[in-house]
Amino acid sequence: MAGKRILLVEDEVIIALDVISTLEEYNYKVLSVNTGEKAVQAVKQNPDIDLILMDINLGKGMDGTAAAKLILEEYDIPLIFLSSHTEREIVEKTEGITSYGYIVKNTGETVLIQSIKMAFRLFDATLKKNEKEELQLKSLVLDQIADHVTITDTNGIITYMNRIEEKDLGYSRGELIGKPTSIFGKDPSRGATQEEILTKTLEKGHWRGEVINYTRDGNAIILDCRTQLIKDKEGNPICLSGISTDITERKKTEEKLQKSESLQRLILSAIPDMLMRFDGEGRYLDIVNYREDELILPREAVIGKTVSSIIPGEMGKILENTIRNAVKTGKMEKIEYSLNVPAGLCDFEARIIPIEKNEAISLIRDITEKKKAEKVLEENEEKYRLLVEKAHDGIEISQDDMIIFCNQQFADMLGYSVQELKNISFLDIFTKEGLRNLYKRQEQRLSGKPLPNQYSTTFKKKDGTIIDVDVKYEITQYRNRPATFAIIRDITEKKKAEDKIRDLLNEKELLLKETHHRIKNNMAFIRSLLKLQARSKDNPEIQESLYDAAGRVQSMAVLYDKLYRSQAFGALSAKEYLSTLIPELNNLYSMGSEIRILIDTEDIILDPKTLYSLGIILNECVTNSIKHAFENVENPEISIQFFKTKSGKRLIYNDNGTGVPSLDTLHGSSTFGLQLLNMMISQLDGTMKIDTQKSMKITFDF
């Protein structure tokens, strides 16, 4: 490795000369610069640079990490950070920039030279597929450092570990080489698992975090672990390297520090503004955390003097006696006072806390703006009080479940005086049922379920009377504390009216159902009466006319029943109507003969008037076929098609009967049935076409 050229980036001249001298003793050629900008330029101008030693802090301008990033974006050169810093935040700045090392200054010539050699070896290893073997054979430097060094294959099987790791874990290399890293144990609550480390390193190329390893004796070691994915020159992963720093003691120290800092934060959180320290006689010992315009005299002019000698008049004596009393009793004292200071007449709040046998501190806050705000608030409250008292609804404000304000309307609503309600819990005015519902709402809200801020409940008046109320509320701030603002309306009479209306609606619904039932029964009665009359007559023509009339009544009854059962009384599915009507007509007229019915209809929604016309049309067609078409026909069949066309709708009726002798004969017929067909299709503003070539086929377009 002798003769290789090294770029040293160091802003301290003496340190640079020392490092150059050491490197040249080992026959390295050294080029030295003192800024990050010069380092970038030097790499561009000197393509024969083999390695870079980069300081992190380089004074003004670009620091070492920024320079390293710029260089490594364009050049594949091994780069080692050389710094006097060991703080975690400084080391973390190098994270992900380079994997060739971090040398702490003044760690000795051996570590410097061996680290450089190892960097060259690591760099050469990236150009060879047998990098794992070379790293294992050349681990002398790794055995000298205080961190744990672990190398695994891409499956997490340990292929190398350094001496310090052996020592700390209590295992020999022979016991761990060839084993998965899961042998180190895991505690997911305190750090990453070995499986997570392996997965994330393979995904991102590097990883850093805390991990728990367990020694042979079962003791936990907390490690700050940094891993790097090693690839060959073709970019194929070949192994993973991990460097881990034992931070067990540091974590214990941090925990103690955090507890101490928490205590300090707790104390500091009580400091409103200025902090003054007094002795037991009320003398100023120190003043910190202050502004000059809030002091009656400069700090230097009051130290060592008593409060009464600095603050004139009765107020000075009161403050001094308050300090003495706090020191004497050992209890905190609180006092508010006004004082003329350079900033003007200001209001202050002082909390005097005894801290030692003859000493106290005073935490002093400027509350001038707070006092002004309270005065404005009081004035506004008086204005709004007048508006609230004139409101028609009850208004109340509660804090900690106690009513702290209510208007006269709310008091009248419950039969109390305003003063009586101010001493009552808001919960006490609920009925038992209302209170149960309130607690249920609170449970739902605590579970995360969103609830409207308006609900109906029941209150009990002073005399025990139950009233129905509507409550609309908001969570707000009242005098800097959470409070509930509610508007309550008495809906007792309104609820009674609603109950009466509901009863009337139920009564009307029953009447409507009864009316529908009567109509259906009347239609069934008329149909049955017509059929009975038909059976009682000997004249076939009269019988036929009566059966025809019964069929027409049946078509109306089916339509009425379907409309009554549907959700929309003004429309109905033609498919549903015809699928019910046709079989019933067949049963009415077929007299036991088996006639096959084929119905193919689209689900078209029609109004009752149109459906009624279709029902009459199909009634005439079906009755005509059953009575006249199937004499000497072995397999009688009726087919009905109903579908939409471009210009409207089409109904096709067809039977496989004998038909009629000629179309002229049919057109010349003066029967009531054919006249009825013409009238019904005309009423739909449509046309009728009859085809009798083989059987009877009638096409209706409308």
Which pLDDT tens digit goes with each residue over 388-439?
666 678 888 888 888 888 888 888 999 999 888 887 888 889 999 988 988 8
Better pLDDT: 591 or 56: 56
The confidence score (pLDDT) of residue 5 equals 93
Pairwise CA distance, residues 377 & 301, whole Å? 39
pLDDT per position as a tens digit, 612-639? 788 888 888 887 888 778 888 888 899 9
In the chain, % of residues over pLDDT 90: 22
Within 8 A by CB and 6+ apart from 187, the residues are 212, 220
The confidence score (pLDDT) of residue 279 equals 92
Task: Show the tokens assigned to 229.
Answer: 């994915």
- CATH assignment of the domain containing 17: 3.40.50.2300
* Mean of pLDDT over the chain: 83
- CATH assignment of the domain containing 623: 3.30.565.10
Better pLDDT: 496 or 563: 496
Pairwise CA distance, residues 44 & 635, whole Å? 101
Question: Are residues 328 and 343 located together in one domain of the fold?
Answer: yes
- Can you tell me the mean pLDDT for 689-699? 84
- pLDDT over threshold 70, residue 75: yes
- pLDDT over threshold 60, residue 284: yes
Question: Are residues 687 and 624 located together in one domain of the fold?
Answer: yes
Last residue of a domain, one of 125, 154, 188: 125
- Can you tell me the mean pLDDT for 584-597? 71
Q: How many CB atoms lie within 10 A of CB 49?
A: 19
Least confident of 229-233, 296-300, 330-334, 661-665: 661-665
pLDDT per position as a tens digit, 188-208? 888 899 999 999 999 999 999
Question: Are residues 548 and 691 located together in one domain of the fold?
Answer: yes
The confidence score (pLDDT) of residue 137 equals 53
User: Is residue 577 domain-resident?
Assistant: yes
Within 8 A by CB and 6+ apart from 676, the residues are 616, 620
User: Is residue 362 domain-resident?
Assistant: yes
214-to-150, 201, 211, 395 alpha-carbon distances in Å: 15, 21, 10, 65
Question: Are residues 553 and 654 located together in one domain of the fold?
Answer: yes
pLDDT per position as a tens digit, 168-190? 888 888 888 889 988 888 888 88
Coil vs helix vs strand at 234: coil
687 — pLDDT class (breaks 50, 70, 90)? very high
The confidence score (pLDDT) of residue 125 equals 67
559 — pLDDT class (breaks 50, 70, 90)? low
Question: Are residues 337 and 476 located together in one domain of the fold?
Answer: no
Question: Are residues 336 and 379 located together in one domain of the fold?
Answer: no
Last residue of a domain, one of 81, 104, 125: 125
User: Is residue 462 domain-resident?
Assistant: yes
* Cα angle 247-252-255, degrees, rounded to a multiple of 5: 120
Rg (CA), the chain: 50
User: Is residue 189 domain-resident?
Assistant: no
The confidence score (pLDDT) of residue 528 equals 81
Residue with the two structure tokens 């004596």: 317
The confidence score (pLDDT) of residue 668 equals 38
User: Is residue 34 domain-resident?
Assistant: yes
Question: Are residues 479 and 570 located together in one domain of the fold?
Answer: no
Question: Are residues 471 and 581 located together in one domain of the fold?
Answer: no
Last residue of a domain, one of 473, 490, 507: 490
The confidence score (pLDDT) of residue 387 equals 61
Listed residue (323, 128, 147, 348) closest to 238, CA to CA: 128
User: Is residue 448 domain-resident?
Assistant: yes
Range of the domain at 693: 541-701
Intra-chain end-to-end CA distance of the chain, in Å: 101
The number of CA neighbours under 13 Å toward the Cβ of 295 is 20
The confidence score (pLDDT) of residue 129 equals 46
- CATH assignment of the domain containing 480: 3.30.450.20
**CA 376 to centroid of chain Cα atoms:** 40
- pLDDT over threshold 80, residue 664: no
Question: Are residues 89 and 43 located together in one domain of the fold?
Answer: yes
- Can you tell me the mean pLDDT for 258-271? 62
Q: How many CB atoms lie within 10 A of CB 330?
A: 11
Question: Are residues 362 and 378 located together in one domain of the fold?
Answer: no
Question: Are residues 335 and 390 located together in one domain of the fold?
Answer: no
142 — pLDDT class (breaks 50, 70, 90)? low
Backbone angles phi, psi at 671, to 5 degrees: -65, 155
Question: Are residues 559 and 691 located together in one domain of the fold?
Answer: yes
Listed residue (628, 485, 483, 480) closest to 548, CA to CA: 628
Better pLDDT: 523 or 537: 537
- The total number of structural domains in the chain stands at 4
User: Is residue 289 domain-resident?
Assistant: yes
User: Is residue 688 domain-resident?
Assistant: yes
The confidence score (pLDDT) of residue 544 equals 73
The confidence score (pLDDT) of residue 563 equals 56
Judge residue 183's burial from the number of C-beta atoms within 10 Å of its C-beta, 0-12 exposed, 13-18 middle, 19 or more buried: middle
**CA 203 to centroid of chain Cα atoms:** 28
Within 8 A by CB and 6+ apart from 694, the residues are 659
